[in-house]
Amino acid sequence: MEEAWHCVEEMGKLGDDVSFNSLIAGYARLGKGELSLVLYVQFLRTRLIISQFTFAGVLSACAGISGLVEGKQIHALVFKTGFEGNIFVANAVMDMYAKSGELESSWRVFVHCKTIHCGLESDVFVSNAIIDMNAKCGSLESAMFVFNERSNLNTISWTALIAGYAQNGFNEEAIKLFTHMLKSDFKPDNGTFASVLSSCAGLTALNYGKQLATHIMERMRKCLTYSEQR
């Protein structure tokens, strides 16, 4: 492996994507996950084209060193680059979570991948379930990615995302999402209001929280009045 490293260095700018992927996977197999991660960071800096082999290698490295934090960051990039439906990558993500003791997250990845391959991801009910599942597991980036990719959003979609941020302590973000929801002309329901009021209560700036709660209560009153008039 040391000779391979020197060969890649001599190729100029640390070689190409094939060389990088081979080294990342090789160090992972040898139990030198830290070196795989160093190579992965260098890979990203060189702006080479990332592939399923890159992800599989570096996720294997994370699994070998129980690098859950790094693994989650890489999983977020998997979503951003559109590889979440790739079986090769999905298996590596599941393995990383399982070996890090995150069995629920591993199962979630399996369900999402299966949903994609069954062609069900475009179904609004399935989409909402995936958003809700990711949000409740604390994978907010994944939930947000699925949310942003959907063109068939509804109140349930928004509520699932807002509730996820609120439950994970991101109160200001939950309130910002609620504001964006209203500006997008979606009508909140009781579940939405419950999550947002919970976020208001969780704000450290108590006065601000009270003011916001008052504002939201007024919004609730208007929504209820509108519903009764219909």
Length of the chain: 230
Report the C-alpha gap between 126 and 156 in whole angstroms: 11
Domains assigned to the chain? 1-121 (1.25.40), 123-229 (no CATH)
- Residue spans of alpha helices (H) in 84-123: 87-99, 103-117
pLDDT in tens, 126-136: 888 888 888 88
Q: Are 200 and 206 in contact (CB under 8 A)?
A: no
Residue 191 has pLDDT above 70, yes or no: yes
- Residue 80's SS3 state is helix
Give the predicted TM-score (pTM) of the model.
0.63
Q: Are 82 and 116 in contact (CB under 8 A)?
A: no
Maximum average pLDDT range among 61-65, 80-84, 195-199, 224-228: 61-65
pLDDT in tens, 70-80: 998 999 899 88
Q: Are 154 and 132 in contact (CB under 8 A)?
A: no
Residue 205 has pLDDT above 60, yes or no: no
Which tokens hold the place of 108?
């979630």
pLDDT in tens, 141-178: 888 888 888 878 899 999 999 999 999 989 889 989 99
Place 102 in a pLDDT band, splitting at 50, 70 and 90: confident
